[in-house]
């Protein structure tokens, strides 16, 4: 059955990548609803054509109602980066991302299957192995060796999927 629901929920939409997603999705005819935590972020989202709603990303009870019935939810939330990125800092960021993803999956699990949107977690391209021509696509395999920021994404991919 083809759905006409064109509501996209965006977490982390006031950042660099989020702004680009808002612009593209709005131009493609999507109703883009964006979780924000400040008035400045709400103004930015509104100026781009999105519809902001306020909540605390780490407290899904403050925003899960906004997600109910949307077609998709895109998670772009990133922990604040430290000034120096050593291995310890990267592992700390990975741990924070994993904890947030666990919260998000648990919150989505409280919705009925009909209310639950498609969940899209955006990670870095460092997680994927390029083909012989150096290209990355949806068919790319996951790197077997740590490279760049991929230690951040690996623990998130290992989380159990939401069960119906």
The pLDDT value given to residue 164: 40
In a domain, 119, yes or no: yes
Residue 112 confidence (pLDDT) = 94
1 lies in a domain?
no
Domain membership of residue 13 (yes or no) is: yes
pLDDT at position 87: 77
Q: Tell me what pLDDT residue 3 has.
A: 55
Residue 137 pLDDT? 65
Q: What pLDDT is recorded for position 32?
A: 97
- Containing 33, the helix (H) or strand (E) segment is strand 31-36
Is 162 within a domain? no
CATH number at residue 65: 3.40.50.720
In a domain, 164, yes or no: no
Residue 163 lies in a domain: no
- Domain-located, residue 136: yes
Residue 75's H or E segment, with its range, is strand 72-75
In a domain, 70, yes or no: yes
pLDDT values of the chain reduced to their tens digit, one per residue, 164 residues = 445 789 999 998 888 888 989 999 999 999 999 999 899 999 999 999 999 999 998 899 999 999 999 999 999 887 777 788 777 887 787 778 778 888 888 899 999 999 999 888 765 556 667 788 877 666 777 777 665 555 555 444 554 454 44
Domain count for the chain: 1
* 49 token code pair: 């054509």
Q: What is the DSSP letter of 71?
A: S
37 touches 55 (CB < 8 A) = yes
Distance of alpha carbon 162 from alpha carbon 45, whole angstroms: 29
pLDDT of residue 1: 42
pLDDT of residue 40: 95
Q: Which residue range(s) make up the domain with 58? A: 7-157
The pLDDT of residue 77 is 85
């Amino acid at each position: 059955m083809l759905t006409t629901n064109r509501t996209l929920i965006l977490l982390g939409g006031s950042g660099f990548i989020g702004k680009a997603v808002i612009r593209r999705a709005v131009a493609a005819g999507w109703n883009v609803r964006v979780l924000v935590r400040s008035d400045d972020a709400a103004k930015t989202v509104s100026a781009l054509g999105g519809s902001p709603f306020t909540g605390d990303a780490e407290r899904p009870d403050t925003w899960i109602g906004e997600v109910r019935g949307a077609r998709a939810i895109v998670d772009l939330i990133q922990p604040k980066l430290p000034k120096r990125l050593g291995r310890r800092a990267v592992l700390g960021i990975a741990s924070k991302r994993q904890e947030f993803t666990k919260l998000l999956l648990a919150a989505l699990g409280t919705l009925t299957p009909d209310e639950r949107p498609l969940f899209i977690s955006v990670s870095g391209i460092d997680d994927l192995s390029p083909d012989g021509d150096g290209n990355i696509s949806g068919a790319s395999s996951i790197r077997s060796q740590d490279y760049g920021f991929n230690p951040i994404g690996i623990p998130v991919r290992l989380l159990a999927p939401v069960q119906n």
